[in-house]
A and B are shown apart, each in its own frame.
Chain A
């Protein structure tokens, strides 16, 4: 099977190259036979890579330790759940996963793209084949998933314990799907540049794909945060690690695009900018992959240093140069149809929103690379750690949150003072009211005060938008308010789904701000002894050590501590935190012992307990207790954000027509009313 898998990679390489050549030549010479061949090559590429994936999965499930990848990532006693995720838990397998999913997206694009965008498809096939071929080349040249061992060990080394977590089964594929699917809008953008058909058509073709990418990236980031929180044990979910940053960059750029594309649709502006955002998002996705896999920047998440970094660097430089040249040569075709009429307009607020999102992306990139720059220029090694990232990025994030509330309140083209007064009255009142309540409640942390009050302002904006829209339907059609709300949402999914995403963002900021009120302590406890910790919610939490138990289960030996938890003296449950020593099927230790955090999650606070270790091998244990306020709202906010994204993505509703300039002007609060069918 491994030989078949390896041969499939070679077949994929040849087919991918053929698809790229026939796609570009067929598109340029308008030869239908070559265009058809490129289309077929896309299908064949997926077929060849799917066979390679099946071969690797068979090797994993058969415990074929003659394959180096299987021997170094799995063991006989690895639970089946994690055997599935072993496919992408290592460098070689994840490259295969990437190439296969990209080829699948290539097939879906060929099948699902509507007739009116057919002229782009040969080039789209060429670009997807070319990118997939690059990944296959890396596998064949430097990271062969079917590499054989010089001997066959009795058992494998097993999977890193930190990857044996449900979060790690879903986080990488979601993030990969986000990264990979960016290639499709990128391919359409390249097709539009090559065909010189740079009107709004190419954007209509990629709109759903950009939302798909954004949604997968969002889910991937959120699950990654959740995994870091429950698995790594430091009590947080975001540490500005280079690999986390690499995933955040394309998300920020795509978020900017999803906003600025509306200006192009409504006013025919920002054509150059929108195209640059799509090209930039793809380049950043490859750059992020380079960071993760090259070892150029140390990270707890990255794959080990390997020669694949050189492949990615060469590809990144070549692709960026080629894309840049193509983009610059087409700039004269991308002139705007309208100009900014007033700084107090929806367009201007979206421009500022874009500026901030791209500024944030640049800031994250700058911070990630600044240590390299410092060493190169000054010869001084420095650390650009979480405190520095927070110092630079939190103010930008807060202004962005404020703009989230301002944008929808301002009319297109030019807002009058009366219009502004009418629009801002309710949201500003809600924001100021929230600020006063917090001040009276004794909160003095400036960041948290701004986050909560800006959040309230955005909430006021969204509430007002829904209320006015539903009331208008109620007046016009006599629909009861719940029906009017439902109709409003279902007929304007993009707009109102977007507002739900904004609510998700507010909730995320509320959760982030909660971390300003974190409290923690360490304690050494014998069974029966207790530690107390007062939370910023005013309650005193008492943790009583009940004892230590040890036992074997699945592929590990567990040392578990059980604690009784009381809030202000009242029993609220028990927490369990563990040390896990993973072993192979022969009982040999495979990794350093890992820690399983005990978490009791609530709307107000999370109680977070870590078993640091035992004293002299006795039941006397060292614990770290942390009270993390409002973390639950981060996960709930993420859930709301994803639901909003799904609503935007869901087929149907009222299509956004891209028409002439006259039809583009629409008041910010206007609701498109249509009779119920």
Chain B
């Protein structure tokens, strides 16, 4: 190695080292740091998306809505997929109500965190209050 080559290698090495300090280093053992995450996008943080996802249930069995599950249970594989499905539908130009309708069509009413307020479901909403009012009226 002549003097010129030595100088080139030194400068290139120093440059690479300098460049490396601007990059994020790998951790010691990524395998044991939990499931890897994709960087958060503007859509992930979009309030409209959050409101929509809070109305839809995750199907992993946790009982939580899609938004809460995907931001809580980081081992869940369902909620990220459902989140992606929501974003795709919104990207295709569907309105939030159309997304909800599409979920109900695909998964049934169980996909909603609250059952629609119609038909038999009305009993679920109003029987306790109705009974209470009836009893209170009888008491008065």
Q: Do A and B come from one complex?
A: yes
* Prevailing SS type, chain B contact patch: loop
Q: Closest CB of chain A to B3's CB: distance in Å?
A: 38
Q: Mark A35-60, 1 if CB is under 8 A from B, else 0.
A: 00000000000000000000000000
A81 / chain B contacts, CB cutoff of 8 Å = none
CB contact under 8 A between A370 and B108, given known A383-B57, A619-B27? no
Query: A619 with B72: in contact, given A299-B63, A524-B39, A524-B40 (CB under 8 Å)?
Result: no
Asked if A579 is at the interface (CB within 8 A of a chain B CB), the reply is yes
Indicate if B105 sits at the interface (CB-CB under 8 A). Answer: no
Binds B, one of A86-94, A271-279, A361-369, A468-476: A361-369
Contacts of A298 in B (CB 8 A): 61, 63
Which residues of chain A come closer than 8 Å to B37, judged between CB atoms?
524, 612-615, 621-622
A residues within 8 A CB of B28?
550
- The answer to the question of A380 belonging to the interface, with a C-beta cut-off of 8 Å to chain B, is yes
Indicate if the CB atoms of A381 and B75 lie closer than 8 Å.
no
Interchain CA distance A527-B44 in the complex, whole Å = 21
B4 at the interface (CB under 8 A from A): no
B33-A522 in contact (CB<8A): no
Whether the pair B32, A366 counts as a contact (CB closer than 8 A) is no
Mark B24-35 against chain A: 1 for CB-CB distance below 8 A, else 0: 111111101111
Secondary structure of the A contact surface, majority rule: mixed
Name 21 interchain pairs, CB-CB below 8 A, sorted by A: A234-B68, A362-B131, A370-B123, A374-B121, A380-B109, A381-B109, A383-B115, A387-B55, A387-B113, A395-B129, A396-B128, A521-B45, A523-B40, A550-B32, A579-B33, A592-B75, A593-B33, A595-B74, A614-B34, A615-B39, A618-B27
Do the beta carbons of A613 and B36 come within 8 Å of each other?
yes
Interface string of B53-79 (1 = CB under 8 A from A): 011010001111100100111110000
In the complex, how many residues of chain B place their beta carbon closer than 8 angstroms to a beta carbon of chain A? 55
Measured in the bound complex, the distance between the Cα atoms of B123 and A395 in whole Å is 17
Contacts of B61 in A (CB 8 A): 298
Answer whether A381 and B33 are a contact pair too, CB < 8 Å, given A239-B64, A387-B114, A392-B128.
Answer: no
In this assembly, does A526 line the interface, its C-beta being within 8 Å of a C-beta of chain B?
A: yes
B36 touches A382 (CB 8 A): no
Chain A 588-605 interface residues, beta-carbon cutoff 8 Å to B:
589, 592-593, 595
| Interface Cβ pair total, 8 Å cutoff | 189
Q: Is B20 an interface residue (CB 8 A)?
A: no
Complex Cα spacing A595 to B73, Å: 9
Nearest Cβ in chain A — how far from B27, in angstroms? 5
- Does A284 reach chain B (CB closer than 8 Å)? no
Q: Which residues of A contact B (CB under 8 A)?
A: 232-235, 239, 241, 298-300, 343, 348, 351-352, 355-356, 359, 362-363, 366-367, 370, 374, 377-378, 380-388, 391-392, 395-396, 520-524, 526-527, 548, 550, 557, 559, 579, 581, 589, 592-593, 595, 610-622, 624
With known contacts A234-B68, A392-B128, A622–B115 Cβ distance under 8 A: no
Whole-angstrom distance between the alpha carbons of A621 and B25 in the complex? 11
Which residues of chain A have C-beta atoms less than 8 A from B123's C-beta? 370
Q: Which residues of B contact A (CB under 8 A)?
A: 24-30, 32-40, 44-45, 54-55, 57, 61-65, 68, 71-75, 108-115, 119-121, 123-125, 127-129, 131-132, 135-136, 139-140
CB proximity of B29 to chain A, nearest CB, Å: 6
A620 to B109, CA, bound (A): 39
The reply to whether B30 and A617 form a contact with Cβ atoms under 8 Å apart is: yes
Q: Given A559-B34, A589-B32, A619-B24, decide whether A352 and B113 contact each other with a Cβ distance below 8 A.
A: no
A609 to chain B, nearest CB (A): 12
In the bound complex, do residue B33 and residue A392 qualify as a contact, i.e. CB atoms below 8 Å apart? no
Nearest-Cβ distance from residue A88 to partner chain B, whole angstroms: 23
- Interface centre among A385, A611, A619, A621, by most chain B C-beta atoms within 10 angstroms, is A385
Which residue in chain A gives the minimum CB-CB distance to B76? Answer: A592
Using Cβ atoms and an 8 Å threshold, which residues of chain B touch A522?
Answer: 40, 44-45, 71
Give the Cβ gap from A2 to chain B, nearest Cβ, in Å.
34
Which A residue sits closest to B32, measured CB to CB?
A581
**Shortest Cβ-Cβ A-B pairs, 9 listed:** A617-B30, A363-B128, A613-B37, A385-B113, A593-B34, A359-B132, A234-B72, A559-B33, A524-B39
A362 to B130, CA, bound (A): 12
In the bound complex, do residue B39 and residue A374 qualify as a contact, i.e. CB atoms below 8 Å apart? no
Q: Cβ of A352 and Cβ of B64 under 8 Å apart?
A: no
Chain A: minimal CB distance from B87 (Å): 14
CA distance A395 to B129 in the complex (A): 9
Contact A614 B120 (CB under 8 A): no
B124 and A374 form a contact (CB under 8 A): yes
Known: A234-B64, A388-B113. A366 touches B57 (CB 8 A): no
A382 near B132 with CB under 8 A, answer no
Question: How far, in Å, is A508 (CB) from chain B's closest CB?
Answer: 21
Given A239-B63, A392-B129, A620-B24, also A382-B109 (CB < 8 A):
yes
- With A382-B112, A550-B29, A614-B34 as known contacts, state yes or no: A622 contacts B63, CB within 8 Å: no
Residues of B within 8 A of A396 (CB): 128-129, 132
State in angstroms the CA–CA spacing of A589 and B29 once bound together: 13
In the complex, what's the smallest C-beta–C-beta distance from A380 to chain B, in angstroms?
A: 6
Asked if residues A392 and B34 are in contact (CB atoms below 8 Å), the reply is no
Residues of A contacting B109 with CB < 8 Å?
380-383
Least CB distance, A249 to chain B, in whole angstroms: 13
In whole Å, how far is A214's beta carbon from the nearest beta carbon of chain B?
Answer: 22
User: Within the assembled complex, what's the spacing in Å between the Cα atoms of A387 and B67?
Assistant: 14
Residue on B with the closest CB to A380? B109
A610→B37 CA distance, assembly (Å): 13
